[in-house]
Amino acid sequence: MAKVLWLLIGVLLGAVAAQQLSRNPQGRRVLAAVNGTAGEFAQTVADSYRARRDEAGTS
């Protein structure tokens, strides 16, 4: 239960930090860079998963 509480606290703090950063242009640029990097990472993971799945011959 304590781990779930820490997870929720982390999510809440992250949301508050993102909201604070979005209030000024420099913060928006930082958030856009982080979002772009996270998107690239997610796309790479998805592409790797599909490649491994295709190698195994499953759908």
Q: How large is the average pLDDT for residues 3-13?
A: 97
The confidence score (pLDDT) of residue 57 equals: 80
pLDDT tens per residue, range 13-26: 999 999 999 999 99
Q: How large is the average pLDDT for residues 24-38?
A: 94
How does DSSP assign the chain, residue by residue? -HHHHHHHHHHHHHHHHHHHHTTSHHHHHHHHHHHHHHHHHHHHHHHHHHHHHHHHT--
CA atoms of 11 and 8, how far apart (whole Å) = 5
pLDDT tens per residue, range 35-51: 999 999 999 999 999 99
Residue 52 near residue 46, CB atoms below 8 Å: no
